[in-house]
Amino acid sequence: MPVTVDPATKMTKDRLSDQGVPYCASRSHSPGEGGVVAKKKTRGWTQAGAARAAREARIATIDFLAHAPIARGWHLNRLVSAYQVHETHTGSRDAAAALLFGGMGYRPPYPRTWAETVEMVLTDEARHLTEADLYVLSPQMCDVVVAAAESLTIEDLRLVDPDDLPSPTGLVVLPHPLVTTAVGGELSDLRAFAWRTPAAHILPVRHGGGLQEDPAVRMSSFHDTHGPVRPDSFLEFAALARARGTPLPPLLLDAGRCLPFRSGRESSPEALDRFVAAARQTVARHRQLRQAQGFDEDRVVGEYTPGGALVDADDSLMPRFLYAFWRLCEQRIAEMDVAEVNHSAQVLADRAGVSPQVRVVRLRRIDQPRAGHGQGRDWQHRWVVRMHRVRQWYPSEQRHKVIYRGPYLKGPDDKPLIGGTTTVRSLVR
């Protein structure tokens, strides 16, 4: 059985860290609060710098997925670990295979070997990244998306519709990594999410056999190779990649899955509990094996403190983040600009066969002085006015949509933002 390498992040600074959190992404999530507190030391986020970093990260990640042999070893471990969770959960190898492959949108017959499976998945991921529209989030917009995602429930995810997507395929790169406690209990640091349609969610029918296929969106998550979570197992893997002449790219593929559109399937709390228990059992088994080998799997650098992470208790953070991002893009909460493409960016993109265009998504500022009323109060700060989530019925479409009312920035453009992201804690359901 291959030893599973923890999802992590891990080495030296790069353009992504220059545009986000160099070696520190401390984010705390307190039970009962509807948001996230983040401590960030940035070198100053700029639209041009974020766009350049995202372009280069996308290109390097595509090349790594398409050509690096060591990428096959990394993702083999990820897939085998996911398979083991499903097998522990269901008690059946056939059911585990159907959940693994069907959950990623693959129809039978499935590949005969793990090597064929890994090649299929990485080839598809590289192609999807090549075709994806590229987005970057400003730090304030990222904080709002995280807080909005925290307000969503599993029931809300059943409302996802193809019309919610801002583009058929996309890659959104965050301004800093999200330190997350995954469903299995391990820490990770997520830096990007991708999506693609059309896709299909293909799962076994509970009664009567066969498979049920539903239209879906395929999603993928990526770790920050230069982020704060740095267990020994990853450092060894990164050193091996450098020694083989294929250093790790800024974004490292974590996992992929499909989310069905407007799913009518009922979710069982008992089934979710069994899945969570299986994930924790699998992670604990692998962790014990690595610790027996002398690995320190708890190393986190920077300003992170225990308990200061988002908690993904039900393995739904990726779809909740993307759904919140998609819905906010449709509303006046967000504003979107296209970053300038200079000659070097165009040449780099042409060589890689990708588009150089980057869409920069920022939090819209709608507070303006009223004409004829002077400047009003002499505010010394800016702050985020709270928002809340509602399910809005659209009679013309005969369906509900999740919409967010607020937030928006108040105060003068040239004044500091009070508390940075701490004001986002005022998000309520």
d(CA 81, CA 87): 10
pLDDT of residue 409: 58
The whole-model pTM stands at 0.81
pLDDT of residue 256: 96
pLDDT of residue 386: 54
- Domain assignment present for 117: yes
Tens of pLDDT, residues 112-147: 999 999 999 999 999 999 999 999 999 989 988 988
Number of domains comprising the chain? 1
pLDDT of residue 112: 95
pLDDT of residue 270: 83
CB neighbours of residue 378 within 10 Å: 7
- Domain assignment present for 208: yes
- Domain assignment present for 258: yes
pLDDT of residue 427: 27
pLDDT of residue 376: 52
Domain holding 105, by residue range, is 15-368
Pairing of strands 26-28, 37-39: antiparallel
pLDDT of residue 28: 29
- Domain assignment present for 150: yes
- Domain assignment present for 178: yes
Quick check: helix, strand or coil at residue 80? helix
Query: Which residues, given as ranges, of the chain have pLDDT below 50?
Result: 1-15, 17-42, 367-375, 419-429
- Domain assignment present for 180: yes
Query: Which alpha helices (H) appear in 136-251, and where do they start and end?
Result: 139-151, 154-157, 232-243
- Domain assignment present for 53: yes
- Domain assignment present for 427: no
